[in-house]
Structure 1
Amino acid sequence: MNATGSVSGAERVLLRLADEAIKMGDDVVLVSPSGPILQHIHPEVRHRECKPIGLNGLRSPVSILKYGASLLRAAIVLLPLMRSSNVLVINNTLASPLAFLFQKRLLWLLHDVLGNDLRGAIGKTASRFFRLVIPVSYAAANPLPTGTAVRVVLNGTPLRESKENFAREGTTSVIGCLAALTPWKGQKTLIKAVAELAGVDFRLEFAGSAFPGDEEYARELRVMAKESPVGEKIHFLGNVDPYMTLQSWDLMVLPSVAPEAMPLSLLEALSMGVPCIATNIGGSLEILRDINGDLVPPSQPHALAERIRELLNDEHRRMVLGEAGRDLVSTKYSLEERTKELYWVVAASTDMAGKVPPRR
C-alpha cells in the first residue's frame, strides 16, 4: 500500500518488491491513490484506488479529523483484500495506525527515522501492532520501541557506469542536489552556503520537485535563489532522470536538516562515482562513514561552504571518494541482493513461508 500516489525513494523500493513478487509468480495488488506511481507499476500488478492519507502535517483539530477519516476510508478498501491476501505491506508512517485495525496482519516497510514529534509518536505507538517492521537502515531501526518485531533490510541501487566515462563540456564545476523540494531536505542551507562561493566557478543544480503540500516551500527556494548574490548560478531542473543528470555533476550535496532513513539519491550518486557531501545524521551518516566520506553538521551553511570549497579544489580526493563509493554500492548496497532479501523476509513472515529461498 502506498498512501500518496507519488514516486520518491520509498515508493521505488515498494515497486521493486512488487516486481520481485511478480517474478516469483505471486499475485500483487497495489492500493494507492491515482498518481505518478501508476506509470511505474508492473503490467501484471492490479490496482485498487484509495484516497490519499494526509501527509502534510497534523496542525489543527480539523486536519486531525481529516487524517482519521482518510485512515477509515483506507481500511474500508483494505478489508476485502485482507480476506484474500497473505500479507499487506505499507510504506508510509502516517498509514501505520492501520495496524491497530488489522493487528499482526500488516508489515511496515519503514523509510523514516521516527522522531519525538506527533508523526514519530504515531509511528512508534503503532509499531508494536505490526507482524514485522522492516526498516531500510539501522538509523531507522534505532528509535523503534522495545517489543517491536524488527528486521533491517538495507536499500539498494544498481551499479551504474562511472561518470568518469562520460564526456562533459566546459570547466565550470557542477554541484548537484538530488532531492524532493521539501523543508527537511535542507535546500535553504545549501543556497546560503553557495552564497559564500562568489569567487568560485560553479553551477548549482537542484533536481527534484515539491512534495504535495510543499509548493510554497518550492516557491520560497526560487525567490531565495533569485535574491542570492550568486543567483545566476543556481538552477532548478524539476524531475529528471537521475542517472543522466549525475553524469555531469562534480559532487552531490544532501544537506538534510532532519535524519533520513536511507537516502536513495545518495546511493545513486555513489553508484556512479559522484563524491558526496551530506549531513552527519541518520542514514547519510550510516552510508558515508563507511568510506570516510564528507559529513557536516545540519543547518550550518558556513561549514558546508568550506567543505564544498575544499572538495572542489581537491580533484584527487574526489576521485578517491568516487571509487570508494562505487565499491561500497557493489559490496553492501547491491540492488539485486537487497531486493531478493526483502522479498524473502516478507515471504518468511507470512503464509507464503512455505516457499524456501534458493540456496546460495
Structure 2
Amino acid sequence: MIDSGESAVSDSILFVTHSPQRSGAESVMLDLAAECHRRGMSVSVACPVGPLSESFPPWAVHVEIPHLGRDHGRRTRAGAAWGMARSMVVAARTLRAHRGTAIVANSAHTLPALRLAGVRSVAWLVHDHLVSRKTRVFIGAGRPLLHHVVAVSPTTASALDGLVDHVAVGRLGVDIPDDAPTGALPTGPLRAGTLSVLTPWKGVDVFLEAVARLDDATAVVAGEAFPGDVGYAAQLRERAGHPDLAGRVTFPGRVRAADALAQWTVHVSASIAPEAGPLTAMEAMAAGVPVVATDHGNPRNLLADRRGVLVPPGDPVALADAMSSIAADPHGTAAMVRRAYAHVAEHHDRRETVPALLDLLLGTTSSSAPAAPADAVAAPSRGGGGSR
C-alpha cells in the first residue's frame, strides 16, 4: 500500500469518488484506472450506482457506496447535513475492507468517509479550482491521511495554498490526432458550440445570450444536466425558444467530442467560475477548432500566447465580439489554431500525461514522464497553514 513513511506500489488500487455521475473528473479517473490495469494492478472503483458505474469496463470492480454529495431531495440545510453525515458513516463501513489497498480519492467529499474507515494513507487528485467552506471542512477531516496531493493544473494547486502540506502539479491530457490541422474554418454561417455539463457555473446561459447577438449564427449545446440542475437546463431550453434564438439552438445531449467539434466554427467555454482544465478546450485545440474561453482559471494559461481568445466572465457582448472575430479573420484564426494544436500535442498528449499523473499519485517514477510545460508547473503550497 501507499504508506506515510515511504512510497510503495500495491498490486491493487481503489479509486473513490462521491457522485454517480460521469463528467470530466470521472473520465480522468477512469483513464488512470485503465493505466493501472495496463500495469497489471487489480482495480476497484468505489462510487454510487449510476451512469459512472454503468460505464465501467469488465476489469474494474465496482464497490458500491452511497452518494456523498449534495442531497437534492432534502429541503432543509440541517436535513441535508444529517443525510450526508449518515452517508459518510455507511460509506466508511464499506471502505474499511480496503484499508490495505492503495487508495486514490477523486473528490474531497470522500475524505471524511476514508478517515472514518480508518484508512492510513490516501492520494488525493484535485480537480476543483475553488475551495468552498464545506470543502475546507472535508479537507480538514482528511488531512492526516493525505500522503500525495496532486492538482490537475497550477490554478487548482493555488487554491490549496496553506491548506495542505504540499501539492504536486500534474496535467490533463486528450487524444491528439496525428495530422496537424490546417486551421481552415468550415464554410457557411458561424456555428458555435459548447461541450458542457448543464449547470449554472458553466455559463451556458451567457453563451446563449452571446449567440442571440449574432444574427446568422447557430449554436449547439452538447451536454446533459445532473439531477440537481434539471431546472437550469429547462431554463436554457426555454431561452432558446425566444424569437431572437428560435430555430438556431440545438441540444443533442451527451455526444462524442470529435463528432461535434468537426462541425463547429468555434468552441466556447463560458464558465463564470474558474476552470481547472477544461478538457473540452483541450479537445477543441487538438481537433483544430478555435477556442474562446473566459479569462480566469487555467484557460488563462492554456490559451496564452495567442492560442485562443479570452473574454471576461459573464459578458455576453464580449463573447459575441470574440466569436465574430474568429470568423472575420480566417488567416489569423488559422495561425491561432496551429499554435493551439502544437501546444496540446507537446504538453497535453494523453498517452504521456496519464502515466505521469499516476506516477505522481503513487509516488513512483517513470522514464517516459515528459517535462512539465509552463502552464503545468506551480510552486509547492505553504505547509502547516491550517485545515480547510
Q: Do these two structures clear the TM 0.5 threshold for a shared fold by scoring above it? A: yes
Q: What is aligned with 1:263?
A: 278
- What CA distance in whole angstroms lies between the structure 2 residues aligned with 1:323 and 1:56? 45
Q: Which residue in the other structure is 2:293 paired with?
A: 278
1:144 corresponds in structure 2 to: 160
Q: 1:181 aligns with which of 171, 193, 198?
A: 198
Checking the alignment, whether the CA contact within 8 Å between 2:292 and 2:311 is kept in structure 1 is yes
DSSP-derived class of the 1:237 partner: coil
Does residue 56 of structure 2 align to residue 41 of structure 1?
yes
- Structure 2 stretches of 5 or more lacking a match? 1-15, 370-388
Q: Which residue of 1 aligns with 2:87?
A: 70
Higher relative contact order (CA 8 A, sep 6+): 2
CA distance in 1, matches of 2:368, 2:242: 59
Q: Is the 8 A contact 1:94 1:122 kept in 2?
A: no
Residue 290 of structure 1 deviates from its aligned partner by 4.6
Shift of 1:291: 4.0
Structure 2 Cα separation of the partners of residues 110 and 168 of structure 1:
36
Q: Secondary structure at the match of 1:113?
A: coil
Q: Does the 8 A contact of 1:194 with 1:305 survive in 2?
A: yes
Of residues 311-320 and 174-183 in structure 1, the stretch that sits farther from structure 2 once superposed is 311-320
1:235 pairs, out of 250, 253, 258, with 250
- Among 334, 358, 376, the alignment partner of 1:343 is 358
State whether residues 180 and 338 of structure 2, in contact with CA within 8 Å, keep that contact through their aligned partners in structure 1: no
- Distance in 1 between the 2:295 and 2:142 partners? 26
Of all paired residues, the percent bearing the same amino acid is 30
- Match of 1:154? 171
More displaced 10-residue stretch of structure 1: 59-68 or 149-158: 59-68
1:105-254 correspondence runs (5 A)? 105-115=121-131, 117-126=132-141, 128-129=143-144, 130-146=146-162, 147-160=164-177, 171-198=188-215, 201-254=216-269
Deviation sequence 1:301-326 (CA, Å, 0-9, x none): 11111111111211112211211111
Deviates more, 1:302-311 or 1:155-164: 155-164
How far apart, CA to CA, are the structure 1 residues paired with 2:134 and 2:91? 18
Of 261, 284, 308, which residue of structure 2 is paired with 1:293? Answer: 308
Equivalent residue, structure 2, for 1:357: 366
Q: What are the residue-to-residue correspondences of 1:85-124 with 2, within 5 Å? A: 85=101, 87-98=102-113, 100-101=115-116, 102=118, 105-115=121-131, 117-124=132-139
Query: 1:269 and 1:162, CA in 2 relative to 1: closer, same or farther beyond 3 A?
Result: farther
Instruction: Give the whole-Å Cα distance in 1 for the aligned partners of 2:180 and 2:266.
Output: 11
Is the Cα contact below 8 Å between 1:161 and 1:272 reproduced in 2?
no
| Residue 167 of structure 1, CA deviation | 11
| More deviation, 144-153/206-215 | 144-153
Q: CA deviation at 1:330?
A: 0.9
Offset of residue 278 of structure 1: 0.4
Which deviates further from its counterpart, 161-170 or 88-97? Answer: 161-170
Paired residue type of 2:366? P
Question: What is the Cα-based RMSD across aligned positions, in Å?
Answer: 2.4
Q: Please identify which structure carries the higher helix content.
A: 1
Shift of the alpha carbon at 1:62? 0.8
Deviation larger for 61-70 or 177-186:
61-70
Give the direction of change, closer, same or farther, for the CA distance of 1:163–1:72 in structure 2 (3 Å limit). farther
Q: 1:50, 1:255 → 2: CA distance? A: 33
SS in 2 for 1:205: strand
Higher alpha-carbon deviation: 47-56 or 159-168 = 159-168
Change beyond 3 A, Cα 1:321–1:220: same
12-21 or 141-150, which moves further after superposition?
141-150
Output the CA distance in 2 between the equivalents of 1:295 and 1:283: 11
Query: Residue 39 of structure 1: CA displacement?
Result: 4.0
The answer for unaligned runs of 5 or more in structure 1 is none
Partner Cα separation in structure 2 for residue 270 and residue 12 of structure 1: 18
